[in-house]
Amino acid sequence: MRTESSPGTLPAREHLPAAGAGTPVLDVVIPVHNEEKDLGPCVRRLHEHLRRTFPYAFRVTIADNASTDGTPHVAGELAERIAEVRAVRLEQKGRGRALRTVWAASDAPVLAYMDVDLSTDLNALLPLVAPLISGHSDLAIGSRLNRGARVVRGAKREFISRAYNLILRGSLRARFSDAQCGFKAIRRDVARVLLPLVEDGGWFFDTELLVLAERAGLRIHEVPVDWVDDPGSSVHIVRTATDDLKGVWRVGRALATGSLPLDRLARPFGDDPRDRDIEDVPQGLARQLLGFCVVGALSTLFYLLLYSGFRAFTGSQTANGLALLVSAVANTAANRRLTFGVRGRAGAVRHQAQGLVVFGIGLALTSGSLAALNTASSDPAHSTELAVLVAANLAATVLRFLLFRAWVFPDGAPAPTAPAPAAPPRAGSAPAARTAPADHDPRDDR
């Protein structure tokens, strides 16, 4: 994680002045990689929409990151034919790298980007950038999980999106609702300070930018969007999810260990002290994640051995249920002691009962996966069953950790060593003053 200090202090937010002749107020970047078929229709549709509805000068920038098909040729033709369009070529792949390069060089005071498939309804573009132009907000994001959003997409993408944002809330204490929607904007003066601190150059770029901005006290405006899934999307979901989880681990470790200078970031940013009232990453998170991963890996191996043994004399669903039940009891006991540092027998029965509820979630995921597999194939191979179960257990593992930390063992982190108990008060002495709990927020008394 980069730790260099900010290159200056941001002034209080103000309404952007009218731009001079020829200077765009808004620069919309479209990062593309091998999108020769969709690029032309996307740019022409976006340009026409901006020409009809946007009251300021604008620019559309095509950021081609290492395309190997005809995308550079299409981008060049669009730039020649449309005055407000320009094309930038990068020889390295990566959406975050493309955005950082174009945003850092842009002269527009408001910078935005959107995906080339235009899954987001363009009518949300003006509401997205208006708070930045007016000086109300520093960043703006489109949200598919906001109450007013209207979304059409498959169950798999819906589950992945909500699970990912749940991970961000549980691990990094994020308060924004949708990190992955390809529809965001930022003020240039803010980007100038934040971009040098963002390390990722791929799909995690958005999340890292938002987490650092939120920790710095910047105001993030959310716009509910109408969003329709593109079934032809070239995004590799598994690889992207893996890279995102690695990014969460990296950023969370940096915040937990204090290697990111949050205090120095908080002073130059944000003109409202309440914007900076965000709890830090919980202490011991890195150690708990490591312990949970070790216990989870051993539990998965134990579960697979049990499943293979039970499967020899019973059906797949029964074998799955029995293996999950036995391994869940062992998993809860191991996490109770090794991951969350809970000693003694106090609360053990309650913890096991709550662990069985978490086990029910895992059973639903794995049983549903097996049912889907048996529907697709009447006689699936044993190796295929194991592969499906491993994938389902990985999804259940993420939810299991969040539930363990927030519900089963909310106070399980080892407490600091308590000082020696004070001597009992003498007769007639005044009672000790009551102190507020450490996590008490004085704003709750208002």
Residue 76 pLDDT > 80:
yes
253 Ramachandran zone, left/alpha/beta (phi>0; psi -120 to 50): alpha
Instruction: Determine phi and psi for 224, rounding to 5 degrees.
Output: -65, 135
- CB-CB contact of 244 with 164 (8 Å): yes
Q: What is the mean pLDDT of residues 257-275?
A: 54
Question: Where does the pLDDT of residue 127 fall: very low under 50, low under 70, confident under 90, or very high at 90 and above?
Answer: very high
Q: What would the pLDDT profile of 342-364 be if each residue is shown by its tens digit?
A: 877 888 888 888 888 887 877 78
pLDDT of residue 10: 66
pTM of the entire predicted model: 0.62
Give the lowest-confidence range in 140-144, 185-189, 190-194, 281-285.
281-285
Residue 51 pLDDT > 80:
yes
Q: What would the pLDDT profile of 130-141 be if each residue is shown by its tens digit?
A: 999 998 999 999
Q: What is the mean pLDDT of residues 389-416?
A: 70
Marked catalytic residue, from 27, 38, 206, 244: 206
pLDDT of residue 417: 41
More confident residue, 154 or 134: 134
Question: Where does the pLDDT of residue 179 fall: very low under 50, low under 70, confident under 90, or very high at 90 and above?
Answer: confident
Which whole-number Å values give the CA distances from 373 to 46, 369, 389, 433, in the listed order?
42, 6, 10, 63
DSSP H helices in 271-419: 285-311, 316-334, 348-376, 382-403
More confident residue, 310 or 422: 310
User: Can you tell me the distance from the alpha carbon of 234 to that of 34, in angstroms, rounded to the nearest whole number?
Assistant: 9
pLDDT of residue 71: 94
- CB-CB contact of 439 with 415 (8 Å): no
- CB-CB contact of 379 with 432 (8 Å): no
Question: Where does the pLDDT of residue 327 fall: very low under 50, low under 70, confident under 90, or very high at 90 and above?
Answer: confident
Helix (H, G, I), strand (E, B) or coil at 227: strand
32 Ramachandran zone, left/alpha/beta (phi>0; psi -120 to 50): beta
Residue 225 pLDDT > 80:
yes
Tokens for 124? 């949300």
Residue 212 pLDDT > 60:
yes
User: Can you tell me the distance from the alpha carbon of 441 to that of 443, in angstroms, rounded to the nearest whole number?
Assistant: 5
To the query of whether residue 271 is one of the catalytic residues in this protein, the response is: no
pLDDT of residue 106: 94
